[in-house]
């Protein structure tokens, strides 16, 4: 079974068309790092909600929105995996870039609002946590905040090591593939959680702006249709990806801690 999963993940690199954000490896890695950060109280809160939506772990929960993409529910959520900021703008405008909150930023804000609502039912909390765990991880892949004109890099064909793929897929899976990601518990131990935000809704928009900036400065930099990606590009990109994986985990942990405190009466 493990071999089949590995073959599937590797195959994602060479699939044409739309790719899954961060690939399953990236999402689950973020989930595992997040879990390492959580207090016993927050872990208990998450575990109770995992049961309600039939998920075995926070790591697997992060992939749910991708696992259902071929279903009616998954297709409805399609626009919620990304947001686009125009090339001539540097900050997100919710009315312009996320009409009716139908983008990853609006979806993240809405799910956090439910998680923080003391009147939300246990089932509502569980379902909000399930989608939040995916939206927050999607938001930290820079090309999920890329440009509409190239579908966040999906339309830009590139070649790396004689293999053709698209720029979005390259950032989703290729840069993080391999065995050199730090062990989740060790990564959390060596990177203490920062202070939480006083306004999570505003923080989410700020993180989106940061991801868009990284897309401009690193993902798109020097790349055009048909580009051959060299090792210099990869060496510049890899630390950005690693930083975003860490930030996604830290921010997910901070929000979960706050949500658990609301519902535990802390």
Among 195, 57, 45, CA closest to 116:
45
pLDDT per position as a tens digit, 193-228: 999 999 999 999 999 999 999 999 999 999 999 999
Residues in the chain, overall count: 266
Number of domains forming the structure of the chain: 1
Helix axis angle, 40-52 to 122-139, nearest 10°: 110
Indicate whether 2 belongs to any domain.
Answer: no
Give the helix/strand (H/E) hosting 252: helix 231-264
- Domain annotation covers residue 6: no
In a domain? residue 71: yes
Backbone phi, psi, residue 160, to 5°: -135, 125
CATH number at residue 74: 1.10.575.10
Q: Answer yes or no: is 162 within a domain.
A: yes
Residue 10 lies in a domain: no
Half-sphere exposure of 78 (CA within 13 A, CB side): 8
Does the residue 205 lie in any domain?
A: yes
What pLDDT digit, counting tens, does each position of 151-210 carry?
A: 999 999 999 999 999 999 999 988 887 557 899 999 999 999 999 999 999 999 999 999
Give the pair of three-digit tokens for residue 110. 């809405």
Q: 30 lies in a domain? A: yes
Domain that holds residue 49: 19-264
Evaluated on CA atoms 24, 159, 243, 182, the torsion sign reads: positive
Q: What is the pTM of this model?
A: 0.90
d(CA 19, CA 66): 10
E strand or H helix that includes residue 165:
strand 163-166
Q: With respect to residue 4, please indicate whether it lies within any of the assigned structural domains.
A: no
pLDDT in tens, 46-60: 999 999 999 999 999
The more confidently predicted of residues 74 and 8 is 74
- Decide if 114 contacts 124 (C-beta within 8 A): yes
Say if CB 160 and CB 6 are below 8 A apart. no
How far does CA 102 lie from the centroid of its chain? 16
């Amino acid at each position: 079974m493990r071999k089949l999963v590995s073959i599937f993940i590797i195959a994602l690199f060479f699939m044409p068309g739309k790719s899954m954000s961060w690939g399953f490896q990236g999402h689950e890695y973020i989930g595992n790092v997040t879990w390492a950060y959580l207090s016993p109280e927050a872990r208990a809160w998450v575990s109770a909600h995992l049961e309600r939506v039939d998920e075995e772990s926070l790591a697997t929960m992060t992939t749910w929105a991708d696992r259902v993409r071929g279903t009616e529910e998954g297709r409805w959520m399609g626009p919620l995996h990304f947001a686009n900021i125009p090339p001539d703008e540097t900050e997100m405008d919710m009315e312009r870039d996320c009409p009716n909150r139908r983008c990853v930023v609006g979806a993240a804000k809405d799910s956090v609002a439910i998680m923080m609502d003391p009147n939300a039912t246990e089932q509502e909390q569980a379902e909000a946590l399930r989608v939040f765990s995916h939206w927050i991880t999607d938001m930290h892949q820079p090309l999920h905040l890329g440009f509409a004109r190239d579908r966040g890099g999906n339309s830009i064909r590139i070649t790396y090591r004689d293999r053709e793929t698209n720029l979005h897929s390259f950032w989703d899976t290729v840069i993080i593939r391999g065995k050199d990601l730090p062990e989740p518990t060790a990564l959390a131990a060596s990177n203490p959680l920062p202070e939480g935000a006083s306004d999570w809704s505003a923080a989410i928009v700020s993180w989106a702006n940061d991801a868009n900036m990284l897309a401009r400065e690193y993902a798109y930099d020097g790349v055009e249709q048909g580009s051959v990606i060299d090792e210099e590009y990869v060496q510049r990109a890899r630390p950005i990806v690693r930083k975003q994986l860490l930030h996604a985990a830290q921010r997910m942990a901070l929000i979960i801690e706050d949500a658990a405190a609301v519902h535990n009466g802390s």
